[in-house]
Amino acid sequence: MLLTLSICNFRSFGTEATLDLQRRGFRTQHPRKDETWQENTWHRAAIFGANAAGKSNVLRALGQLKLAITHSLTNEHWVRELRDPHSLCTDEPTSFEVEYVFDDVRYRWGLTLNHSGVVEEFLEANLSSRWRRIFERTGNSLIFGSNTGISHAAKENIEQFMRPWALVFSAWNTVKTPGPFAGALQWWQTLLPVIMSNEADHHNRHQWLVQLAQKDPTWLSVLQNVVAVADVGINKIGIEEQAPDLVKQIELTIQPDGQAEITDQFDSDEITEYLRYLMFEHSDGIHTFSLPETQESQGTKAWMDLAIPALFALSVGGVLSIDEIDGSLHPLLVRELVSYFDNSELNPLGAQLLFSTHDLTLLGKYPAESLHRGEVWLVEKERSYSELIALDEFPIRDAHNIEKRYLQGTYGAVPISNTTELLHTLEVLREKYTKMKQQ
Model's pTM, two decimal places? Answer: 0.85
Strands 352-356 and 117-126: unpaired
- The Cα 263–Cα 270 span in angstroms is 11
For the domain 2-192+318-393, what is the CATH code? Answer: 3.40.50
E strands along 247-315, which residues? 277-283, 288-292
pLDDT number for residue 260? 41
Residue 243's pLDDT is 54
Q: Which residues contact 313 (CB under 8 A, 6 or more apart)?
A: 192, 319, 320, 351, 352, 353
Residue 35 has a pLDDT of: 94
Given this model, what pLDDT does residue 232 score?
Answer: 62
**Domain ranges across the chain:** 2-192+318-393, 199-303
If we measure between CA atoms, which residue out of 8, 19, 9, 79 comes closest to residue 353? 19
Which 8-state DSSP code applies to residue 295? G
How distant, in Å, are the alpha carbons of 6, 61, 88, 107 from that of 13? 10, 11, 11, 24
Write down the pLDDT at residue 271.
Answer: 45
Residue range 56-111, pLDDT digits in tens: 999 999 999 999 999 999 999 999 999 999 999 999 999 999 999 999 999 999 99
The confidence score (pLDDT) of residue 362 equals 92
Give the 3-state secondary structure of residue 186: helix
Whole-angstrom Cα distance, residue 92 to residue 114? 7
CA–CA distance, 407 with 417 (Å, rounded to integer): 12
Which residues does the chain have with pLDDT short of 50? 244, 251-266, 268, 270-273
pLDDT digits (tens, 9 = 90+) for 309-330: 999 999 999 999 999 998 878 8
Contact (CB, 8 A) for 203 and 240: no
Q: What is the pLDDT of residue 203?
A: 82
Give residue 258's pLDDT: 45
CA angle 184–38–338, rounded 5-degree value = 100
Strands (E), 38-193: 44-49, 94-102, 105-114, 117-126, 131-138, 141-144
The pLDDT value recorded for residue 242 is 59
